[in-house]
Each structure stands twice: as C-alpha cells, then as structure tokens.
Structure 1
Amino acid sequence: MGTSASKLNRAIMADIHRLSLNQATTERWSVKEAVEGCLRHGIPSIGLWRHKIHEAGLRESVRLVRDAGLHVSSLCRGGMFPAPTREERQQRIEDTLRAIDECAELHADSLVLVVGASSAVGLVDARKMVEEGLAAIVSHARESGVRLGLEPLHPMYAGERCVLNTIDQALDMASPYAPMEVGLILDTFHIWWDPYVLQQITRAKGRIYGFHVSDWLVPVPDLLLGRGMMGDGVIDNRTLRGAVDRSGYAGPIEVEIFNQAIWDMPGNDVLSTVVERFTSLV
C-alpha cells in the first residue's frame, strides 16, 4: 500500500471514533442487525430507537450492545408532551418516565426529547405544556443518572411534531436546570438554516449532549422522509461540526437520515456510504 493511501486510512480510522449510527438510518434493521452492521463497518457507537428496542426486548438490546462493545450515544425518544386532555398529557409523561428507565439500562449518553406539538391546543399553550412535562420528569432523570436532551426541530414541524424550533429557545427552556441535567441535541437538518446558528451554538457551550448530521436536499422530497446523505444537499456539516467542537462537545456524532430511498437500499451499502461521507465531509 502506498504512503498516501496509508495516511488516508490512518486519517479515516482517527476520525471514525466519533461516528455513531442512528438506527433511523437503517430503519429496516432490527437492533441485532444494526449492531452487527456497526461491527462490520467499524462504527463504535449507536443511537437506538425505542420501538426497535421494544421489538427486541430491553434485556436483549442491552445484551447485544454490551457484548458488541458498542457505546450507546442516545436513546430516542421521549417527550411529545402537548395534548388537549390532562389524561393524555399524563400518559405522555409516564411514557417518558419509562424511557428514562430504558435509557439508564442502556447506559446511553442521553434521552432525546422531541417535545411535541398539538394543533388542538395552540402554540402558546403547547409550549407551556412542554415546560410542565419537562418539570415532571427531571427529578426521575436525575435520580436515574440520565441526561435529558431537548432537540429543537425545524420550524416546519411546529404544528405537529415540535414547538422548540431554535437553539436559543431550547436553551431558555433548559436554563432552570443544571447543565448536566437538561441540555440539547443539535441536528444539522434542523438548525442549518438559522442565520444566528453559530452564535447560538457558542451560547450552548456546556449543554450540548449530542450532534446529528445529514443533508438538506433541494428540492425537499418529503417533509419527514426527505433527509439526504451528507454531501447530497446544501448543509455545511463540517462548519457546524467545527462550531460544536469549539463549544466543547467531543462526543459521538450520529448520522440520522429519514429517507425511504435510503431505507430501501441494502443496509451494508448505506453504512459504507455513511463511513465514506462522514470521514470526507463531516
């Protein structure tokens, strides 16, 4: 092998230690298949989704990641707090309390909170319900050793998925709590558009629990399933990563892609592309 090729391989291996596969990127795979895929491709961390864990069983999921020596970068998700009735809101709080227990069992870095939205209650009331829902779970998370990661989502989701839409807004909601209790998950798909994103990332120093990457395709093929592989769209993932790194985050970087075309590809082909694009573009 030539000298230049050897240097390239060393650079790839040096950087891949930050890479984490968010399980959503290989939606068709079970926990077992995703774990095995990470091992085949040298990916050291994985972000797990609760519906996949429930399919496999929590105990089996814990065993699989432990035996593989994988680090669990996140568990997704809790939250979805707004709802028109008190009973529904309480059910969502109780579900998130269960998610905290699952996160503790998996020794995940944080529980991702997609806080929810509801057209039935309106934006102002929905945000108040999120504050109330967060307040109801923080003590259990603290006792369980679980960090709660608020994920601000792109404003196009404010009506049905998430009423936290900027980093500053999420930081304001996290501010009543200690930096190691409530922080942020920053996803480039959701934050890249903001003209103040770099200043907001700087402000988030000490509360960044996770960093996710993908790309924004032009045109966007679907509001939910329209994310692209890094390099196929317009997001400058490397600049955003640099800002996050300078703000003190040195943990795993998850590749999280919701895209039916990618889900329909062979999973090993997806992971090969993930590794190549991550090391060259992130």
Structure 2
Amino acid sequence: MNLDRCCVHTITTKPWSLAESVERYAAAGVKGISVWQNAVEGMTHAQAGELIRKNGLDVVSYVRGGFFPHTSAEERAKAIEHNKKLVEEAAALGAPLIVLVCGASPDQTLEASRAQIQSGIEAVLPFAEQMNVKLAIEPLHPMYAADRSAINSLAQANDISEAIGSPFVGVAVDVYHVWWEPNLEAEIIRCGKNDHLMAYHVCDWKVNTGDMLNDRGLMGEGCIDIKKISRWVDATGFDGYVEVEIFSNIYWQQDQQEFLGKIVKAFEEKV
C-alpha cells in the first residue's frame, strides 16, 4: 500500500518521545500519527497538535478511551467523566476521533458489561458531538473478555454502533483482534453500509506468540491475510489512513529507527 495512507501509533515506537516520533515519522514518509495519551508529556494537547501539523503530519486519532463497565455506579460515573476529559483533550489536539477500548468487569456478566458500555457511550456522546470528536468502538479479541473489553467481535461493535445510531459513533477494525471471525467480510461490509467504519489498524498475529498483549508482529510476520482484509475495507469506500499499531516488548528493545524502516517496508509490501 502507498505510504500516503500510512499512519503510525506512538505506542508502536514507545521509546521515542512525541517530538522524536513526529520528526522521524515525517522523515520516513509516514503521513499520519495516532497519539496515545501517555505520549503527550511536557506540553499541552494544543501544543502537541501544533507540533504534529508543523511537521506535515495529520492527527488521525487519540488513543484510548472507554473502560465503562463497573459494578459500582460511582465508578461508572467516574469513567464517563474521564471519557469527557479525553474528548476535550482530543479536540485540543485536533484529533477527529477517539478509539474506545470499552472495558469489562470480571465481577459481572458480559451482558451487563455490554449494556454499561452502550449507556456509557450514550452519556459521553452529546459532549463528543459538541466538541466534534467521533467515538470509534474497537472490538478486542475474546482473550480480553474478562477485564479489558466485553466487545469481542465486529458484529457486537456493529450492534452497539447501530443501536446508538449517531454519525459520531462507529467502529475501529483492528486485524489483530478480528482476523479470526468467520463472518468478517460480511461485518466489514455491514459497517461500511452504515458509514460506521472509522478506523483501520494493522499488525500481525505471531503463531508462537510469547505474550498476548505485547508480542504482536510486524505485518508479514504472522498468519493474518492482511491484504485480503485491506481489500474488504477498501471495498466499503473507506479511504482513510491505515494505522500501524504494534505492541512488542521485542521491538521496543531494538533500535527504533531500524524498526521504523521495517514498518515502512512492510506497509508497502504486506498491506
């Protein structure tokens, strides 16, 4: 895929500061950046946005909101207020959307967590609309269902997005989490028909992964047919950035400039 659609998440090159990431991404021909909250240090979000745009990059998304479910009503209220704060930060940064890792509680049923996720998003939505920031529900692999996200398939994300029925609520498709789904093509078509496909993330699933969170592969290192999924995504009319998001204890320990070179090569050849 052409680098004109290449975006890299700051978490991918976690050892770099935001300033270093921006400079290095731009020099490598990357056009977009998705900013994790922890990357904005020592400056305001408005200053961070200015720094990014000054270097010729687009702010693609702000990561990550969500974590709505709790058995305590007080904690659920805190989560809603926290997400409103994130919306405010995203607006200051100039990010058009926030990616939602929706959360789950092992102390209650998945159905209860899913209901709280929908009500939490609905509570944040009026403020998001006011601030012109979209909310993208990212389904996570079922291995995270206990405590990280009760939204574990693209079908579930589509269900909630459609139930809410707002142009400010959609889905983020991350191949790491959804590549295994038997009806994936149909669900991608579904979110495309409803104009709810807001983000597309790529990395790879290593067959002999050593860590379910922090051993993701560079595109082409694993078993995901990324090119096929990319064709399905493009067929919906989605022409936005393709975001490289790799959590890797292995790559974080390596020379990040060399790693960025590998990312660019893999993006052009494997996406």
TM-score norm. by structure 2 comes to 0.96
Q: Which runs of 5+ in 2 are unaligned?
A: none
Match of 1:197 in 2: 184
When the two chains are superposed, the root-mean-square deviation of aligned CA atoms in Å is 1.3
Distance, in Å, in 2 between the alignment partners of 1:55 and 1:77 is 19
Aligned residues of 1:80 and 1:116 also touching (Cα < 8 A): yes
Residues 38-77 of structure 1 aligned to structure 2 (within 5 Å): 38-77=25-64
Match of 2:113 in 1: 126
Distance, in Å, in 2 between the alignment partners of 1:223 and 1:139 is 35
Match of 1:9 in 2: none
Distance, in Å, in 1 between the alignment partners of 2:93 and 2:44 is 12
Aligned residues of 1:30 and 1:56 also touching (Cα < 8 A): no
2:226 corresponds to which of 227, 237, 242: 237
- How far off is 1:96 after superposition? 0.5
Equivalent residue letter for 1:131: Q
1:256 maps to 2:237: no
Distance, in Å, in 2 between the alignment partners of 1:257 and 1:102 is 23
The percent identity for this pair of structures is 35
Distance, in Å, in 2 between the alignment partners of 1:235 and 1:49 is 25
- How far off is 1:54 after superposition? 4.3
Equivalent residue letter for 1:74: S
1:163 corresponds to which of 150, 165, 168: 150
Kindly provide the CA deviation profile for residues 8-60 of structure 1, in whole angstroms up to 9, marking residues without a partner as x.
Answer: xxxx7xx1000001111101111111101111201110010012114543233
Aligned residues of 1:117 and 1:160 also touching (Cα < 8 A): yes
Distance, in Å, in 2 between the alignment partners of 1:114 and 1:226 is 19
Q: Which moved more, 1:177-186 or 1:221-230?
A: 177-186
1:225 maps to 2:210: no
Residues 13-162 of structure 1 aligned to structure 2 (within 5 Å): 15-162=2-149
Aligned residues of 1:25 and 1:256 also touching (Cα < 8 A): yes
Distance, in Å, in 2 between the alignment partners of 1:59 and 1:195 is 42
- How far off is 1:178 after superposition? 4.1
Match of 1:247 in 2: 236
Report how many residues are paired: 269
SS in structure 2 opposite 1:61? helix
Runs of 4 or more consecutive aligned structure 1 residues displaced over 2 Å after TM superposition: 54-57, 176-180
Over 3 Å counting, the alpha-carbon distance change for 1:78 and 1:261 in structure 2 is same
Distance, in Å, in 1 between the alignment partners of 2:108 and 2:23 is 43
Equivalent residue letter for 1:58: H
Distance, in Å, in 2 between the alignment partners of 1:264 and 1:187 is 24
1:271 corresponds to which of 242, 260, 266: 260
Aligned residues of 2:45 and 2:90 also touching (Cα < 8 A): no
**Structure showing greater Rg:** 1
Kindly provide the CA deviation profile for residues 63-99 of structure 1, in whole angstroms up to 9, marking residues without a partner as x.
Answer: 2112112101111011100112111111111111011
1:280 maps to 2:266: no
TM-score norm. by structure 1 comes to 0.92
Aligned residues of 1:179 and 1:207 also touching (Cα < 8 A): no
Q: Which runs of 5+ in 1 are unaligned?
A: 1-11
Distance, in Å, in 2 between the alignment partners of 1:251 and 1:109 is 12
Equivalent residue letter for 2:47: E
Distance, in Å, in 1 between the alignment partners of 2:218 and 2:238 is 23
Match of 2:163 in 1: 176
Distance, in Å, in 1 between the alignment partners of 2:187 and 2:124 is 26
Kindly provide the CA deviation profile for residues 145-200 of structure 1, in whole angstroms up to 9, marking residues without a partner as x.
Answer: 11110000111111011111111111110113345210010000001001110111
Aligned residues of 1:109 and 1:209 also touching (Cα < 8 A): no
Distance, in Å, in 2 between the alignment partners of 1:91 and 1:34 is 32
- How far off is 1:220 after superposition? 1.7
- How far off is 1:274 after superposition? 0.6
